[in-house]
Amino acid sequence: MQTGTEIETRIVIAGFGGQGVVLAGNLLAQACVEEGKNVTMMVAYGAEMRGGTANSTVVISGGTIYSPVVTRPTIAVVMNTPSLEKFEPLVTAGGLIVGNGSMMHRGVQREDLKSVTIPATEIAHRLGNVRVANVVILGALIATADLLKLKSMERAIEILMAQKKAALVALNLEALRAGFAECRR
């Protein structure tokens, strides 16, 4: 959406509850703060729980953000098949889908948008913890979309995990870089 001269990037991150879509949204938002961009993150809260579907939305803009409610994302990060099926039709033409091929039974079908699929869960497993698949796929998003610097995402991981999850900082940084490298090979 365009208000004045600023173009918004509207990202939805979707997956099963437990795949870390909320943390992924928070990391993107923190990275925006690092770069001085305006950002709004909202979790589709509800009866979501581990095993159910969940999504978070992140709106990024150089200007004022008027609505946190995203109906037509410009980017969808999908962690599994149900999320692909739900959000593929909603992404705006010319948009981007970043998919977790490890958990998708099919590829992206639309031809009017860009898509990247990486085996995020397998990469995470290789790194020793399948739960960092969300951060692996963020690496792929950063490598593919001209959105945020890798450095800002690294800072976001350090900041958000510093207190309660300090032991996981190194693993998550590794996950981020692995996802990034997967798309830059």
Partner 1 sequence: MNAKTAKILLKGNEVMCEAAVRAGCKFFAGYPITPQNEVPEYMSWRLLQAGGVFVQAESEIAAINMVFGAAATGFRCMTSSSSPGISLKQEGISYITAAELPCVIANVQRGGPGLGNIRAAQGDYFQAVKGGGHGDYRLIVLAPSTMQELYSLTMNAFDYADHYRNPVMILTDGILGQMVEPIVPQEYQPLFDPAPKDYILDGCQGRKPRIVKTLHLQPAEALVEVNRRLVAKYARISGELKLSEEFLTDDAHLVVSGYGITAQIAKGAVLQARDKGLKVGLIRPITVWPFPEEPYLKAAKTAEKFLVVEMSNGQMVEDVRLAEQCRRPVEFFGVGGGWYPTIEEVLKRIEDHYPA
In the complex, the residues that contact partner 1 under the rule CB under 8 A are 1-4, 25-26, 29-30, 32-33, 38-43, 45-46, 66-69, 71
Backbone angles phi, psi at 155, to 5 degrees: -60, -40
| Minimum gap (Å) between residue 66 Cβ and partner 1 | 3
Comparison of 65 and 127: residue with beta carbon closer to partner 1: 65
| Minimum gap (Å) between residue 43 Cβ and partner 1 | 6
Question: Cβ of 127: how many Cβ atoms within 10 Å?
Answer: 17
Comparison of 32 and 133: residue with beta carbon closer to partner 1: 32
Q: Are 174 and 182 in contact (CB under 8 A)?
A: no
Phi/psi class of residue 18: alpha, beta or left (left: φ > 0; alpha: ψ in -120 to 50)? left
**What is d(CA 183, CA 185) in angstroms, rounded to the nearest whole number?**
6
CB proximity list for 85: less than 8 A, separation 6 or greater: none
| Minimum gap (Å) between residue 23 Cβ and partner 1 | 12
Comparison of 62 and 68: residue with beta carbon closer to partner 1: 68
Comparison of 70 and 103: residue with beta carbon closer to partner 1: 70
